[in-house]
Amino acid sequence: MKYSSLHLFSVFCLTCISLFLFLNKPAYGERIAAGGWVSLVICSDSFVYATGRFADVTDTNLATNSSLLPIKIPGLSSIIAVACGFAHCMALKADGTVWVWGYNSKGQLGDSSFNNTSVPIQLKSLKDIIKISAGSMHSLALQDDGTVWVWGWDQYGALGQGTNNKHKNYPIKVSGVSNIIDIEGGQRSSLVIKNDGTLWAWGRNSYGQLGVGNNIDQWTPVKITALSNVVEVSSGWNHSMVLLKDKTVWSFGDNWWGQLGIGTNGSTHKNYPVKVDSLSDVRHISVGGDHSLAIKNDSSLWSWGNNWIGNLGDSTNVAKSIPTRVKRNGFVEVEGGRHHTIAIAGSGVTRSGQKVLGFGSNSAGELGDGSKNTRIVPIEMNLNCLVYSGINDPVSNSNHIVNLYPNPVQQYGILNINFNTSESLSDIDFVVSDMLGRIHIRNNDVPEFGPGFKQNLRIPIGNLPPGIYSISIYSENIFRGSSKFIVQ
């Protein structure tokens, strides 16, 4: 869908409450993804680079297709978010389209077939998507109207359709939930956050991973009444974790390896949320297969749970039932895979200082260091590009400069965008995101610019809630730059 300048900011957060819940949370994006044996990274050219299983799009045999080093995936340009399940991956373009590849035995690619593919394909039935998530063998997409779309394996009711084992190889809307602002796919479960900060879940619940107070599978969405003010959710093989507005972490589900972080392990599963008491001031969480991860506001990374192959990065192979600090500083983003972890660390101000690190399983080259050696401490990925800046820092260059004024801009005021170009630009898109990376505006009706021409756009802010936002500029599907602005 295209939006004219008269409609700009008409697609913003679903209510004032929704963004209010997130204003105190530092920025992180979805620039990395970790699956069963694969890792993805978005680079500064807005292309996706893959390492591990099915990284090589020229090899159609997914059983043997792998790379020990990151490979640029042709055709996946203007990417703003990535996600991976157990053996399939997804990418979200700035134009709101979804692209998928990998295994498809349960319809998890959503292309109306059950055919595997090593080449990313577009799901043409989806548009205006602002967030994606991959469960183990099912997928989710969030549309800009707050609706959730699902497809893939429906075992245990993972698709929320009131059925069990009725697989769908095409996207279908989830009824019973609306005004959704975040989505998460687990092994056979799904969790979503509404704009009022409540958490809803459906699917497998044999370990209590839905957090509803029982162990009964839920085939339709149910509310987790024990939680409120939820700002982030992550789910793994059989456990889940949430971050609240007060920066505390709560977990529920399987605790065999101590992945709930409450100091116990074994059969001490919890079917209701329990607080991870030893953690506070947390800004970002992620759950791997049977391990858990959190980044605090001081940029320290903490890990706990299963560690049999070094996936906690604490230099041991011993499972931990309480959070343990990874001995490195400056973490910005982290993502847990089935048995490995990848993270972005370095300067949070300039993307040139940020690096992708990995630890844990490396049997298919998923750590991207050129080997298959297991790593029990963080090792740098051999990435021949700069990490995509996302919304973490303003980016510009001498040829394409984005100036925003006034900045800060008053609520109900006018934001002016000035493009100072030294060459012709065409097919211009821009994306406005909040500090969680959620897209509020997507526009591709900007007029063509001639060489050296300064073009101003006037955007009515309307009742966009106060907070920090970022605008990213694309021309002919090439990332040109971004800048932050503040609404007061």
Task: Count each helix (H run) and each strand (E run) in the chain, helices first.
Answer: 1, 35
Domains of the chain: 5-11+394-487 (2.60.40.1930), 28-380 (2.130.10.30)
**Hey, what are 77's tokens?**
């340009």
Predicted confidence band at 97 (pLDDT cuts at 50, 70, 90)? very high
Q: For residue range 152-167, list pLDDT tens digits in order.
A: 999 999 999 999 988 9
Q: CB of 237 within 8 A of CB of 289? A: yes
**Predicted pLDDT at 8:** 32
Q: CB of 345 within 8 A of CB of 307? A: no
Mean pLDDT rounded to a whole number for the chain: 84
Predicted confidence band at 400 (pLDDT cuts at 50, 70, 90)? very low
**Predicted pLDDT at 118:** 94
If DSSP codes are grouped into helix, strand and coil, which group holds residue 352?
Answer: helix
Indicate the burial class of 246 (C-beta count within 10 angstroms; 0-12, 13-18, 19 or more).
Answer: exposed
Secondary structure E strands in 123-269: 129-134, 138-143, 148-152, 168-173, 180-185, 189-194, 199-203, 218-223, 230-235, 239-244, 249-253
From the list 98, 77, 39, the residue with the least C-alpha distance to 439 is: 98
What are phi and psi for residue 352, nearest 5 degrees? -65, -20
What are phi and psi for residue 6, nearest 5 degrees? -70, -20
480: Cβ–Cβ under 8 A, 6 or more apart, which residues?
Answer: 400, 402, 425, 473, 474
From the list 85, 81, 213, the residue with the least C-alpha distance to 158 is: 85
Cα angle 104, 174, 144 (rounded to 5 degrees) comes to: 95
pLDDT score of 146 more than 70: yes
**Hey, what are 118's tokens?**
């090593």
Task: Give the count of beta carbons closer than 10 Å to the beta carbon of residue 2.
Answer: 10
Average pLDDT over residues 201-211: 97
**Predicted pLDDT at 14:** 36
More confident of the two residues 395 and 260: 260
**Predicted pLDDT at 57:** 85
Q: For residue range 224-234, list pLDDT tens digits in order.
A: 999 999 999 99
pLDDT score of 289 more than 80: yes
User: Rounded to an integer, what distance in angstroms lies between the CA atom of residue 165 and that of residue 126?
Assistant: 23
More confident of the two residues 86 and 347: 86
**Predicted pLDDT at 150:** 98
**Hey, what are 246's tokens?**
């007060």
pLDDT score of 98 more than 50: yes
User: Rounded to an integer, what distance in angstroms lies between the CA atom of residue 223 and that of residue 418?
Assistant: 45
Q: CB of 467 within 8 A of CB of 387? A: no
Predicted confidence band at 479 (pLDDT cuts at 50, 70, 90)? low
Most confident of 21-35, 40-54, 98-112, 441-455: 98-112
Q: For residue range 411-461, list pLDDT tens digits in order.
A: 777 777 766 555 566 667 777 777 556 677 776 555 554 444 445 667 777
Q: CB of 398 within 8 A of CB of 453? A: no
H-helix or E-strand spanning residue 16: helix 16-20
Which range has the worst mean pLDDT, 259-263, 288-292, 370-374, 468-472? 468-472
**Predicted pLDDT at 223:** 98
Q: How far is CA 5 from CA 15, 445, 446, 458, 470, in A?
A: 21, 8, 8, 8, 18
What region does 437 belong to: left with phi over 0, alpha with psi -120 to 50, or beta? left
**Predicted pLDDT at 429:** 72
**Predicted pLDDT at 353:** 64
From the list 352, 291, 371, 354, the residue with the least C-alpha distance to 326 is: 291
Q: For residue range 105-119, list pLDDT tens digits in order.
A: 999 999 999 999 999
What percentage of the chain reaches a pLDDT higher than 70?
80
331-336 sheet: strands from edge to edge: 331-336, 340-346, 354-360, 375-380
DSSP state letter for 206: T
What percentage of the chain reaches a pLDDT higher than 90?
60
More confident of the two residues 300 and 445: 300
**Predicted pLDDT at 178:** 92
pLDDT score of 191 more than 90: yes
Pairing of strands 79-84, 66-72: unpaired
What region does 330 belong to: left with phi over 0, alpha with psi -120 to 50, or beta? left
User: Rounded to an integer, what distance in angstroms lies between the CA atom of residue 456 and that of residue 343?
Assistant: 38
**Predicted pLDDT at 259:** 98
pLDDT score of 25 more than 60: no
H-helix or E-strand spanning residue 117: strand 117-122
Predicted confidence band at 484 (pLDDT cuts at 50, 70, 90)? confident
Average pLDDT over residues 379-394: 71
More confident of the two residues 261 and 481: 261
